[in-house]
Amino acid sequence: MVRKCENCGFENQDDYDFCAKCGNPLVEGLKRSQVYVYRANDLPQLNNKAVIISYIITIFLSWSGFIISLFTKNTSFGTFAFFGFFMPFYLVQSKHLKLRRHGIIQLVISLVGVALSFYVMLHK
């Protein structure tokens, strides 16, 4: 069975209480103010400068252990590279699809930097 919205005519699944398209209540007694409808157009615009800064921070934190481990001997500074995971893990949890995508890319960058840091730290 399908529930048809009286407001926009959209056919919703039977277990929906609100219209998936416009957010209009499909059940009597529910108020429209109790639901939040997010559309792709409602998401805030991505700040490109902030994304670039997040890449710089991720690369600095995750690759600095590798670079310092190359120049120093018998140091455990490579473990500092784990701080490079903070920014990608934060971005991966975003509701914004593009931010999640950037978070996954930064996570891969961090994984490579941490792996190289530990490789150099353990093989000196």
Compute the distance between CA of residue 42 and CA of residue 25 in angstroms, rounded to an integer: 20
Are 52 and 104 contacting, i.e. CB atoms less than 8 angstroms apart?
A: no
Assess whether 55 and 102 both reside in one domain: yes
Whether 115 is covered by a domain: the verdict is yes
Does 112 share its domain with 55? yes
Task: Report pTM.
Answer: 0.60
28/65 same-domain check: no
Say if 43 falls within a structural domain.
no
User: Which residue range(s) make up the domain with 15?
Assistant: 1-37
Residue 25 in any domain: the answer is yes
In a domain? residue 14:
yes
Q: What's the pLDDT band for 37 if we cut at 50, 70, 90?
A: low
- The domain total for the chain is 2
Confidence check: pLDDT of 34 > 70: no
**Do 27 and 52 fall into the same domain?**
no
Asked whether residue 105 falls in the same domain as residue 52, the answer is yes
Same domain, yes or no, for 24 and 54? no
By CB atoms closer than 10 A (0-12, 13-18, 19+), residue 9 is: exposed
* pLDDT, tens digit, 9 for 90 and up, residues 70-113: 887 667 777 777 888 888 998 999 888 889 999 999 999 999 98
Asked if the structure places residue 60 within a domain, the reply is: yes
Provide the pLDDT for residue 7. Answer: 85
